[in-house]
Amino acid sequence: MGRLVLAEGDVFSPPGVKDFFLPPIFGDVTKPMVLLVLSVIIVSAFFLITSRNLKIVPGRWQFAAESVYDFGRNNIARDQIGSKEFKPFVPLILSLFTFILVNNLFGVIPIFQFPTMARISFPLALAILVVYPVYHFVGIKKFGLGGYLKNQLFPPGVPTPVYVLLTPIELFLKFFMDPITLAIRVFAAMFAGHLILLVFTLGGEFLLLHAAAPLKPVSLVAWAFAIAMTFLEAFIQILQAYIFALLTASFIGRALAEDH
């Protein structure tokens, strides 16, 4: 069946995992590393410049920065952690949200065109080395180790025999699965999204260059889909950044909650 399409006899090699292992630009430095550092510079610069001279009545740039800050502060941190204890976590939530957002959006911005979070190392670093220690630490700090474990593993209001079943599940979820799923969620979404864009773009290109003449216009359909998927991807990238920050805040809120 492939032979019908491939009139010239060329073999279309579909994009795959290998496309996520880009050759180093120089030394051991790869494109995702450069993008990651760039994202830190972009986010820092954006907030530092817009917050340089804050006014009671905001200007256009200050309004933009305030909207982002408000979103992280009120919609994510305050809603999930509670208005009493959310203040110290605002920088963490805001950093996570903007950092992941910019890195994700690199996937649809021309020239960059690589979602950094499609490399599992980065979300893993954030989830396991940052979020995981933070929420356990604040919980232990507030209730003490015993109190915290009792809070988390023995939620009140459950008949005693149920703990036999419930406690191992809670242990498995809260101390093992939560950080890993947190990382894998954003990684998988970015990985799959980027792969889809590659398939449509490269497929269209292959059709145009190597397909029989009557089939060449089909490449336009492929590219149209690539553009449509780009919009969908942009939406998913924003959503994933939001979900990551939201879940982090929710874990912290859960660790700080008096009872489950």
Partner 1 sequence: MVNAFILAAEESPSPVLPHMAEVILGLVAFLLLLFVISKFVTPRFEKLYADRTAKIEGGIEKAEQAQQEAEAALKQYNAQLAEARAESARIRDDARAEAEQIKEELRAQAQEESARIVAQGQAQLEAQRAQIVAELRADLGRHAVELASRVVGESLEDEARRRGTVDRFLAELDSVSAPAKS
Q: Which residues form the interface with partner 1 (CB under 8 A)?
A: 2, 11-14, 16-18, 20-21, 28, 32-33, 36-37, 39-40, 43-44, 47-48, 51, 54, 56, 66, 69, 73, 87, 90-92, 94-96, 98-99, 119-122, 124-126, 129-130, 184, 187, 191
Q: Which is nearer to partner 1, 66 or 205 (CB)?
A: 66
Give least dist CB 165 to partner 1, A: 30
Give least dist CB 221 to partner 1, A: 20
Give least dist CB 21 to partner 1, A: 6
In angstroms, rounded to a whole number, what is the distance separating the alpha carbons of residues 200 and 241? 24
How far does CA 171 lie from the centroid of its chain? Answer: 25
Give least dist CB 111 to partner 1, A: 20
Q: Which is nearer to partner 1, 80 or 116 (CB)?
A: 116
Q: Which is nearer to partner 1, 20 or 148 (CB)?
A: 20
| Paired tokens of 158 | 């459950």
Give least dist CB 110 to partner 1, A: 23
The answer to whether residues 194 and 118 touch, using CB atoms and an 8 Å cutoff, is yes
Q: Which is nearer to partner 1, 1 or 164 (CB)?
A: 1
Q: Which of 118, 116, 117, 105 minimizes the C-alpha distance to 195? A: 118
| Paired tokens of 185 | 């969620």
Q: Which is nearer to partner 1, 123 or 204 (CB)?
A: 123
Give least dist CB 159 to partner 1, A: 39
Q: Which is nearer to partner 1, 149 or 241 (CB)?
A: 241
The answer to whether residues 81 and 254 touch, using CB atoms and an 8 Å cutoff, is no
